[in-house]
Amino acid sequence: MPRDSERRVGIEKICAYPGTLSLDLEDLARARDHDPADIRDNLLLRSRSLNPLWEDPVTMAVNAADPMLTDEDRASIELLVVATESSVDQGKPISTYAQRQLGIPHNCRNFEVKHACYSGTSALMVAMHWVLSGLNDGKKALVITTDQSRMHLHKPYEFTMGAGAVAMLVSANPRVLELEPEHNGFWTTEVSDTFRPTSRVETGNGETSLYCYLDALEGAYAHFLSKAGPVDFDGYFKKNLYHVPFGGITFQAHRTLLRQWKPLKKSEALEHFRRKTLPSLRYNMQMGATYSGSTFVALMGLVDACDDLAPGDRIGVFSYGSGSCGEFYSAVIGPDAREVVAAAGLSRLLEQRQPLNVDQYEALEQQRFELIDRGTYDVSLQAHGDLFARCYAGQHRLILRANKDHFRQYDWS
């Protein structure tokens, strides 16, 4: 149940930005001579998000946060943390762009954090403790996750790529999700499972990453139980969220924890998964990998999809980041979760994306790859037919106009 009002902390507002282009992954499977049923039934994926060249991790971050912030919200923010493994610069953080473009006051501590997909959770926990310190005179924190995949044409893991950003306002008024800071379990070990050694390369070993993910889950959950005490897994958590590099891995994660609860047949575990976790994948299935934001996309999917989820219900959340670190924590659904998530309109934004065929997708990825380290270029707004006119013109979205001797130039549509 919610804790003492003087110690409450969590997510007050949440909003996501899924980009404006999409690729049907069953079409991609057919183009790669891969069984579409494997993508649909095993990976639990339908489509992925893509960005036109005038979008990048900076624009996604800002376009996720801007719609949910009132002038009062902006004035209240004194901590801004951006989580990403897709930064556009080796030194300058995305958080500085976000502070300026979002109109957040200058008296704001800001920084960027990196720990693969775990970075979003690490940023949320920093914000949580900052609010709980009581030293900030009621001010709030803004946490933004923003990531996009590198190019992986014809690679086995091409189907699991994606893009997107999530913004969360963290405060002592947890209207969406109340965190329980006494009940966090974490686990870490150094491993090279997946990583990005250069600005263009994203590599690693998928099988190693799967085992590391499940090892981290077991280790973090055991640490959680050492703090929370023995729990009836089914009764304690109304629903369960997991890090979502692709939907199918969440069944393996859920089954791993079910084994610690009581023996179940695979069919029983699958039914439990369908009831407790599968609804959370509503938006992850359509966006693909969102890296640092995946558990928060899942949170939005869960709230939108589950009529049986009510204020005061407790959920379990597991976040994993390659390299590696895992964290398992509990949280309580806030009183206005359904209204706040509905107002974010993620379903509508997903429907508005313009689909690309496989040839168009490959050409776009190749263009982006060629521009990554180029210091000077202009960005045309004429690509993809009427996409700019339909999804940007007059809609106050941040876009990348040019890069001049490595100075990135942004503007509002």
Active site residues: 85, 117, 243
| Pair 180, 293: CB distance under 8 Å | no
Tell me which residue of 270, 213, 201 sits closest to 242, measured CA to CA.
213
Q: Partners of 404 in the beta sheet?
A: 407
Query: 20 with 52: CB under 8 angstroms?
Result: yes
Q: For residue 238, report the phi and psi dihedrals to the nearest 5 degrees.
A: -70, -40
Strand 325-333 to 314-321 pairing: antiparallel
Cα angle, residue 396 at apex, residues 338 and 358 outer, rounded to 5°? 80
Structure tokens at 47: 């489509």
The CA distance from 242 to 228, in Å, is 19
Torsion of CA 147, 150, 153, 155, to 10 degrees: -90
Counted residue by residue, the chain has a size of: 413
